[in-house]
Structure 1
């Protein structure tokens, strides 16, 4: 391979790693100099990825062997790849940090007492996991990997067990929800466009009027379509936007008022609850990570 070709390939750097029986957790940084279309095949374990910095807006995932070459769905803050599957990811250039957990499939199936059925609906739902329980566990694992404490391997093993159960519950919720009654594609697009066009949180009534539905129809249909509450989804999208603004250099005050918060302190409280760190701490961490990337590239 020529040096010029290698310079355009994505690179991955492992900043920290912690392993325990059944689980390996890593904090990694990706440097993607050019738009990519890459295949990710993870063998017989479950692969869970949570972005710690904003995921590029263009990021999409698709299972070509299952869906064909043209279907790609949006990648959320958290996505999972089941055992034996190959996920193709398309994305734009940029730098990103993620927590990456690989969990033994046998441990997941032992904890939940059954095998999970990874059909089309499950694969699509796993590309954007908006479960607050899964998110909280991944933040706790991130903290343990960054700053291992007393009995850290045992702690990670226990957290891995909890994560296995929550992944199983998420998969079973997809199985048990009705196959009909979800929102149509055009209504989901209207909601996405509203969230992208205005950082202030919409009311449920506003979104219901936008979709020509009652609030009850909206909330029930959205949960069927996205396997999470519309409130959790709105909060997740708003915090993604806040991360991008902070990394672009906007002040905490500017971000707070742009997002419709009454004060910087109320925004800081919401951000810390959703992201696991204050806005200032988040920006400092990402600044150090990007500085390390620049040093490696130099």
Structure 2
């Protein structure tokens, strides 16, 4: 597993190597306007538990060329022998869980069986799978506090991760890349979501893109593989994470992101992350304090 680039400094991380998976708990200092490359001989998953740097985008340049960069989700998948080039505009501290799948099943499925089409490479940059998220967090917990039968459990989780990622990517077809929204329309949507924390309406986004609501929702689903509502919701949760990391009060965060109450914020946040806003905030503060 390798990461190289400008102004990327890992520190206070921990690496745990098992026969079926390598698990890393990374704390990275990201300088502004940076770039990096992530490459691995093994299938690699990365879950960013803090918001990614502003405008962070990735490209499989060997397949796409040097000019096409796409937005990243909080979970990305880097196929073996497919280096991922990264660019971003803003720096800051980043915490992530990274797992390289080393088992025979993973090698067979991702090296031999999987056809790495354009649509699947694009889908790899945003793995919006709740089971994958839970399994990566379980690996991190086990790596932090190994106990009896840890290696056995890690092997079972690594196998589950392999199956879940295969199922996720096998559902992605080239048809999803056709009939979608034009790149400039997707860019307008992302810019609107990044500019304001309050969520836009479908009518607002349709007018922004100069198309009907029906064209917008159908085209977005084909382009991104998720509904526009799911995408807006995840963007909203990411905004909450950024504000919680600045030590804002829970009420201030709820007001800033447009939630009607702290309880509605807590319900939405826990459904997405498995944590309450307070426990997430305390975890971030403890991590920063120990750095």
TM-score, normalized by length of structure 2? 0.85
What are the Cα deviations for residues 191-231 of structure 1, in whole angstroms up to 9, with x where unaligned? 22332233233344443444344444333321211122222
Displacement of 1:167 in angstroms is 1.2
Question: Does the Cα contact within 8 Å between 1:40 and 1:87 map onto a contact in 2?
Answer: yes
Aligned to 2:276: 278
Name the structure 2 match of 1:101. 99
* Correspondent of 2:20 among 19, 22, 25: 22
Q: Distance in 2 between matches of 1:223 and 1:247?
A: 31
- Bigger shift: residues 143-152 or 271-280: 143-152
TM-score (norm 1): 0.84
Task: Structure 2: state its 5+ residue gaps.
Answer: 1-5
The answer to whether the 8 A contact 2:48-2:94 is kept is yes
Is 1:62 the counterpart of 2:59? The answer is yes
The Cα shift of 1:109 comes to 5.8
- Equivalent pairs counted in the alignment come to 285
Runs (5+) with no aligned partner, structure 1? 1-7, 294-298
Q: CA deviation at 1:13?
A: 3.0
The question of 1:218 aligning with 2:227 is answered no
Cα distance change on mapping 1:210 and 1:104 into 2, 3 Å: same
1:90 and 2:87 are equivalent in the alignment = yes
| SS in structure 2 at match of 1:53 | coil
Deviations 1:240-278 (A, max 9, x none): 111111112221101112222121011012112212222
In the alignment, which residue of structure 1 is the partner of 2:198? 200
Q: 1:71 maps to what in 2?
A: 68
Distance 1:167 1:105 in 2: 14
Summarize the Cα distance change of 1:105–1:151 in structure 2 as closer, same or farther, 3 Å threshold: closer
Determine which of 106, 122, 125 is the counterpart of 1:124: 122
Q: Which moved more, 1:117-126 or 1:15-24?
A: 15-24
For residue 236 of structure 2, what is the aligned residue in structure 1?
Answer: 238
Q: Is the 8 A contact 2:118 2:174 kept in 1?
A: no
